[in-house]
Amino acid sequence: MKNGYADLLKKIDLAAQKPFPCDRNSNFGVFYAVHRSDHPAIIKVVSENKEGTLSDLPHVIYISREKSPKHQHHYKAGAMNVLTRVSGVMTNAPLMLNVDCDMYANNPQVFLHAMCIYFGIKNEEDCGFIQFPQAFYDTLQDDPFGNQCANYYYISNGIAAIQGTFYAGSNCFHRRKVIYGSSPNDTKSENIGNEDLHKMFGKSTELRDSAAQVLFGSNEKIEDQKIPSSFIEAAICVAGCRYEYGTSWGKEVGWLYGSATEDILTGLNIHGKGWKSVITSPDPLAFLGCAPTTYPTSLTQMKRWGNGLLEVLFTNQNPLRLTIKGKLWFRQALGYLWICLWGARSIPELCYAVLPAYCVITNSHFLPKINEPAFLIPMGIFLTKNLYALWELKRLGVSVRTWWNLQRMGRVNAMTSWLFSFLSLVLKFFGLSKTVFEVTQKEESSNDGDDRGRFTFDKSPMIVPGVTILLVNLTALVNGMVRLSSSENWIGALGVGEMFCSVCVTLCFWDYLKGLFKNGKYGIPFPTIWKSGALALIFVQLCRRSSQSF
C-alpha cells in the first residue's frame, strides 16, 4: 500500500506540471478558465450514499468557495465557515471533524473514541469540543527548531483540568450547535424566530431551517437523511462572497474573524460561553501531520502564531473581558493570557538578553558577586527551574537534547519571529500595515533531504535581531575575559555571574554563531551580518557613553 501510494504521488506530481485540457461541455466545465483567486463557487458531489446504508461509503463532496479580489475572504476562518454552511445545507450532521490538509487519520478507531466521549458524558456542557493532539510523521530527531510543541501539549494537558484544553485548529470534533453560537443549557434559542435566524445565518431558507433543527434539538432524529445532490444550488448560494454581509458569521456564529489564529479566538469564544472541552490521546495517535523541516519556514510559522495570538487580546474575546462578562474561569483566562502573550514576551526577553552584556561592558552588575552568599539565590533559582523542566519532559520520554532545543529555541523565537510579530501588530494599530496571512510551506520529506534539521538562512529581516544579540554578547565576553585576565582576584571581580548569563545567551544562538562562518544557504547572508554588526556597534557605543556619564 505504501509503494502504491508513492507511485500515485509521482503520477499526481507529473500531472500537476502539465496543462489540464478542460472542455466547457464536460463534467469539468466549471473549471474552464478558472483563476484560483477569482472564480465562482464550485461544488461537485463526487459520490453520495443515497440509500443511507452503513455498508456503503459516506458522501464525498468537493467544495471550492467563491473568490473575488473585491471581497475579504478571512483566510482559514472564512473557509471553515463556508464548509460549515455548505455541510449544514447538504447534510446537517450534528458533529463536525476539522482536520488540516497536511494531517491524516492514523487511528481507524478515532471516530469511535470521539463518539464514546460525546455520548458518554452526563452533562452536555462538559464537552463543547474534543481536541486530539497534533503529532507529526516527519518529526526531526531531537526537534532542532522547537516547532513540534512537545512542551505546549504537556501544558495543554494541565489546562484541560480547568475548563478544557485550547482548540488547536485541527484534529478537533465540534458540536454543530456550539459552532452556531449556542450556550450550554440555552433556552433562549427556543424563542428565536425566522427573522432572527435570517439575521444570524443569512438569507438561505435551507440554511435557516437546518440551523433551526440544530438549535432547537430536533436534529437528534437522524432518520431524515438528506441527498446532497438535491441541494447543490442552495450550497452554491451559501458559498458566495457576499453571503456573510449583514449576518453574524465570523462575529457570533462560526469561526470568528479578527485574528490570524482563528482557532484560539474561536475556542476562547466557546469557553467564554460556558462550554468545556476534552483532550484525549489514544494509542496509536489519532492524527499525524507534517511539521516544518527548515528554519526559515519555522520562523514564518512562529511569526504568524505570535501575531495572531496578540490580535486576540484586542478583540471582544479578550480573556479578561470574558471572565468578567462571560463564563470563562479566571484560571482558564490566565492560561489563555499565557499563550496570547507569546509575541509580547519578545520585549522582556530582548531586555534580559542584552542586560548581561550591558553590565559586562559598563563594568556594572545586576547579580551578586560570585564569592558572596547571596549569589546562591539566583544560581539556585536557575538550577531548580531548568532541572524541574528537564524532569517534566523526561517523564514524557523526551531526550535531554530535545529539552535543550526547546529551551534555546524558546529564547531564539522570542527575540526573532515573535519580536517581528509584536512590531507588525504595533504598525497595524498605527495604520502603517495590514495583517497578512502567511501560509506555512510544508516540505515533502523526499525533497532537500540534506537540509532536514539543519539551520539554513535567507535574507529574512527576522534573523537580524538574533545576529545582533549574538554579536553584542560576544563583544561583552571578549571584554570581560580581558578584564578578568588582568584582575588578580577574578573570583571577587565584578561580572562573573553576568558573563555566565552571556555565555548562556551565546549558547542559545550557537547555530547563528556557526552560520557566521559558513557559506551558501548554511551561512548568514553578508547584508544581514553588516546590518547586525552596525546595530551591535551602536549598542556598545551607547553602553560606553552611559558608563562615562555615570
The reply, when asked if residue 76 is annotated as ligand binding, is yes
Q: Which residues, 6 or more positions from 479, have their beta carbon under 8 angstroms from its beta carbon?
A: 360, 361
Which residues make beta-bridge pairs with 247? none
Q: Where are the alpha helices (DSSP H) in 55-124?
A: 75-90, 110-120
8 A C-beta contact, residue 121 and residue 127: yes
133 closest CA partner among 150, 121, 113: 150
Strand 60-64, strand 42-47: pairing: antiparallel
In the three-class reduction of DSSP (H, G, I as helix; E, B as strand; rest coil), residue 249 is classed as strand
Q: How wide is the angle at C-alpha 86 spanned by C-alphas 82 and 91, nearest 5°?
A: 145
Separation in Å, CA 451 to CA 261, 454, 455, 523, 550? 28, 5, 8, 13, 49
In whole angstroms, give the CA distance from residue 211 to residue 248: 13
8 A C-beta contact, residue 421 and residue 306: yes
Separation in Å, CA 530 to CA 502, 516, 525? 22, 11, 9
HSE-up (13 A, CA, CB side) for residue 37: 5
In whole angstroms, give the CA distance from residue 331 to residue 160: 11
In whole angstroms, give the CA distance from residue 125 to residue 178: 10
Q: Cell 520529506: give the residue.
A: 445
In whole angstroms, give the CA distance from residue 156 to residue 165: 6
In whole angstroms, give the CA distance from residue 2 to residue 8: 10
Q: How wide is the angle at C-alpha 79 spanned by C-alphas 73 and 81, nearest 5°?
A: 105
Annotated binding site: 76, 100
Give the residue numbers of the binding site for Mn(2+).
Answer: 76, 100
